[in-house]
């Protein structure tokens, strides 16, 4: 068991952003093992974050992110509890990461609870139909369909997506870690993603069809 000293506490604090006393207690509890101490701090942070989740978050920031030389743009609103925290480097860095995630991964919803019930039902039915085509037993269809629904959430729901900077973490974990570190409730409220020229090709095709029809009527 390694003896906990000031340098160890300082190093853990710099790595995790936790308070000095919390770092000292975590290292003592982990017997000087850094990996275990980080896990201790993470568990405490998760518990603290859960308590903060019901607190009102009405401050924050609306931020923009432009990617690929102006080809993709994102606007995102991220809320916290105080204007002070909204102006900190830690919060602004988090908001930038969230905007970059939206630009890169193109989610449709913030969280799975926002997915319309009819879409969920449709995805489940499609998954079951695919499994029936593969002659899977009816008894396991629901379990397999639920697994495929989880994959759907991971693709289209921001908080379920793997973080583009660290794909072993989900965005919900990134947010929870930020709450634990910053000490306030943080929520992603809404976002909009713009792709240059998106939808124009379809509109042009429709216009061409209308012109063709009009020309046909004139013949």
3-state secondary structure at position 89: helix
Looking at residue 97, what is its pLDDT?
A: 96
Q: How many beta carbons lie within 10 A of that of residue 161, not counting itself?
A: 22
Tens-binned pLDDT, residue by residue, of the chain (219 aa): 567 888 888 888 777 656 677 788 888 888 888 888 888 877 776 545 555 556 667 899 999 999 888 999 999 999 999 999 999 999 999 999 999 999 999 999 999 999 999 999 999 999 888 888 787 787 788 888 899 999 999 999 999 999 999 988 999 989 988 888 888 889 999 999 999 988 777 666 676 676 666 666 544
Q: Would you kindly state where each structural domain of the chain is located, as residue ranges?
A: 1-52, 116-154
Among the residues of the chain, which ranges form H helices?
6-16, 20-29, 34-52, 83-86, 89-105, 117-133, 138-156, 171-182, 200-218
Question: Are both 1-52 and 116-154 of the same fold?
Answer: no
CATH code matching the domain that covers 1-52, chosen among 1.10.8.10, 3.40.50.2020, 1.10.15.40, 1.10.3720.10: 1.10.8.10
Top CATH class, 116-154: mainly alpha
Name the nearest CA neighbour of 17 among 93, 84, 102, 97.
93
Name the nearest CA neighbour of 144 among 161, 129, 122.
129
């Amino acid at each position: 068991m390694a003896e906990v000293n000031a340098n160890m506490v300082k190093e853990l604090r710099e790595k995790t952003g936790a308070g000095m006393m919390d770092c000292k207690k975590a290292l003592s509890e982990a017997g000087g093992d850094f990996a275990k101490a980080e896990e201790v701090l993470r568990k405490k942070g998760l518990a603290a974050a859960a308590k903060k989740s019901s607190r009102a978050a009405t401050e924050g920031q609306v931020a923009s992110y432009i990617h690929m030389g102006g080809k993709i743009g994102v606007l995102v609103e991220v809320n916290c509890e105080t204007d002070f925290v909204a102006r900190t480097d830690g919060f602004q860095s988090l908001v930038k990461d969230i905007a970059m995630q939206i630009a890169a991964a193109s989610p449709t919803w913030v969280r799975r609870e926002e997915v319309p019930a009819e879409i969920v039902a449709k995805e489940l039915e499609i998954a079951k139909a695919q499994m029936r085509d593969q002659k899977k037993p009816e008894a396991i269809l629901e379990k397999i369909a639920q697994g495929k629904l989880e994959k759907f959430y991971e693709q289209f729901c921001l908080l379920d997506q793997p973080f583009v900077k660290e794909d072993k973490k989900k965005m919900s974990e990134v947010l929870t870690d930020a709450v634990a570190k910053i000490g306030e409730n943080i929520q992603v409220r809404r976002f909009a993603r713009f792709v240059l020229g998106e939808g124009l090709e379809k509109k042009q095709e429709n216009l061409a069809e209308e012109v063709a029809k009009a020309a046909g009527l004139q013949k």
